[in-house]
Structure 1
């Protein structure tokens, strides 16, 4: 059902997968008086490593990005081995062979596939320093090994939901949750966005780091209860309007 008379201007939160045409979507809705919570510029800041990384240096692994693939020797010398490869937005279904690179031969094979992969071919290539993350029990597959990683949602700097990232059996205690969310909140504050996701993980040495960010409009919930998340946002907005 639709309201009989709606406000001339509505601020809306979208729920969609990774968008390749956010500018167009934003403009189409704006023409109808509906404004998504993030402007196109804010969307890029939340979604593209090339935009958010400069603000999160020190909280996340060292990263370099390229519009054309660099030589293996140059990135290996700068970042060490193994390398972690991804697109500036995302990996291709977490495929380990395209992400964790130990040699020049593996790099060359990955670059060939990147050029044809429908998820990766339109993204800039990102080379990251490989972070050795705390493993969690999981079945061996062709995917990146599951780690002690968590997804957190932030609404104007307030955590409205946090839960495990991988679909396997692990969890944090209160002490680890507090330590992880300190790092996630620092990242969220630096980005200063209305609705952002920060993924954090623990390294094998016990340090918490930010893995990546995303626009929360297009992120999956992971282990976060959607009912709790949206209830928390409603409560924050209700208190703000009092």
Structure 2
């Protein structure tokens, strides 16, 4: 049932997790150092688990494998796609995020120019390639053609559909390295069953930045609306502020696969556990 390196944990007798180390500090978290964790010898006949084992390229297959053993991942394959891939979540959020188009085959420059004009922000349907500016912020047709040559060979991008987005003027935090997307006033938010359980700066390694109370109300209100519209159990929403002050959705992700960025993992899981305890308490009438 479990693949090499994977482990099943029952955390605080409230939450089942399927974990595996990835070697990425932004993602891994030692649950048993901060919470009471058990490794039961005998499992219930069926249980729902959150996976924190990195990104699976075969999520639907893994879901079916585990389901056959009575272990049900918190997201069905359909929910996973809705949370993760822009062509699935974008139609529900068109008024909250930059205009976007995507292509089953790598497009030519003329097609992109006709649909969006220049410049554009380009990415795979799930992610960029290590935030490289030269592969993301495309100023014109010649740069686009060069980027497409790299996309065909890039280990992160070659298997993803190409997404082109309207390039919006975002509030800058810092420029960063020469070939890295400039850091914007962007925040990662985690939502568990529609409720906020953690937020923090997306560009957590650079110059520190945070939101005022008024900005929190507006940005997190937008995140809550996204969580309502997508209605999946464990959602990540990345939000950024334009220079005009308007907040927009940058992207969505499955919380099972997402790195913490500037979010405290301890606080995040403590909040989820508290919600699960509250759900388990019988109501008196």
| TM-score, length-scaled by structure 1 | 0.96
Identify which of 222, 225, 242 aligns with 1:203. Answer: 242
Distance (whole Å) between structure 1 residues aligned to residue 175 and residue 147 of structure 2:
24
In structure 2, the partner of 1:3 is 40
Query: 2:151 corresponds to which residue?
Result: 114
Deviation at 1:26, TM superposition (A): 1.1
Match for residue 224 of structure 1? Answer: 263
The match for 1:136 among 144, 169, 173 is 173
Distance (Å, rounded) in 2 between the aligned partners of 1:16 and 1:135? 33
**In angstroms, what is the RMSD of aligned CA positions?**
1.2
Distance, in Å, in 2 between the alignment partners of 1:201 and 1:75 is 24
Query: Quick one: distance in 2 between partners of 1:153 and 1:64?
Result: 26
CA distance in 2, matches of 1:125, 1:139: 25
Misfit runs of 4+, over 3 Å: none
Distance 1:4 1:139, change over 3 A: closer
| Helix, strand or coil at the partner of 1:196 | strand
Partner of 1:151: 188
Greater length-normalized contact order (CA 8 Å, ≥ 6 residues apart): 1
Q: Deviations 1:63-116 (Å, cap 9, x if unpaired)? A: 000011223223223323211110001111111100000011100000111111
Partner of 2:97: 60
Q: Counterpart in 2 of 1:125? A: 162
Deviation larger for 64-73 or 218-227? 64-73
Q: Give the C-alpha shift of residue 6 in structure 1.
A: 2.4
**Which entry has the higher C-alpha Rg, 1 or 2?**
2
Matched residue count: 242
